[in-house]
Amino acid sequence: MKISVLYLGRIECRRDNLIQCSDLSQMIKSPISAILVQHPELGNVLYDTGNSPFYASEYSRHTLETYPIPEFISIEDALKKKGLQTSDIDRIILSHLHFDHVGGLKYFRGTKAIKNVLVSEAELKNAYYQVMTGQGGAYVKSLFDLDGIEYKTIKEDTVLAEDMRLFIQQSHTPGLIGMMLKSRSKGNLLVTGDTIYTRENYEKELPPGGSINKTQKEFFDNLAWIKKMERQNSAAIIYGRDFDQITDLNREGSFE
């Protein structure tokens, strides 16, 4: 198995949106990323797809004002740097269906991957409910409701291979998929996605500010669960939005 963390540009937003703080004027760099797993049994698996290239017209004014995008790198270009085309991807796993994770799905129209998109059942139901009742927020229907797309859903922890397991979290969104990867060079890796944005959230036990979670209890319950998994598996954590970690892993290149 070969693992690559792909850097797909960044959002710059209020620090409080990621890490609860009193200074609401402080800003933070929030990376957009995807993870490519080149697996001997599963083929080329992609976890998340980044922003849409048409974000300026597809995202709401509120979204663009709250989460401005000063840097955009398409998933197509990121894969090219790895010597791959979108047609080489066998399966897509979506951590959840917010705009900056599903925006790159359009690059996979007509490919085998668009017929094999994995998401949690709870997340898929929630996303459609939100957009169809006028409460879309970070869900944009046109980004994930594409012609020809076929979703495969999971309800619980799912073993894809001996060294690749998916687990479902109840924070940030109801059903966000995380991953446990067993690598040779770095040992066990826990990929949290956006349930835990940064190392600071994790180590200082600081929830995000604002209303991204319905209650702070969701964050703390999930944090305790992830910390237990970390201990039990002697795992290192890949956070969802830690700029230094994501860019360092991207510069490092692929590892086994």
The two beta strands, 117-120 and 151-154, are parallel
pLDDT for res 126: 97
Residues in the chain: 256
CATH of domain 2-252: 3.60.15.10
Domain ranges of the chain: 2-252
Cα 200 from Cα 221, distance rounded (Å) = 17
pLDDT for res 185: 97
pLDDT 10s per residue in the chain (256 long)? 999 999 999 999 999 999 999 999 999 999 999 999 999 999 999 999 999 999 999 999 999 999 999 999 999 999 999 999 999 999 999 999 999 999 999 999 999 999 999 999 999 999 999 999 999 899 999 999 999 999 999 999 999 999 999 999 999 999 999 999 999 999 999 999 999 999 999 999 999 997 787 789 999 999 999 999 999 999 999 999 999 999 999 999 999 9
pLDDT for res 210: 79
Cα 129 from Cα 135, distance rounded (Å) = 8
pLDDT for res 115: 98
pLDDT for res 226: 98
Kindly state the DSSP code that residue 105 receives in the 8-state scheme: G
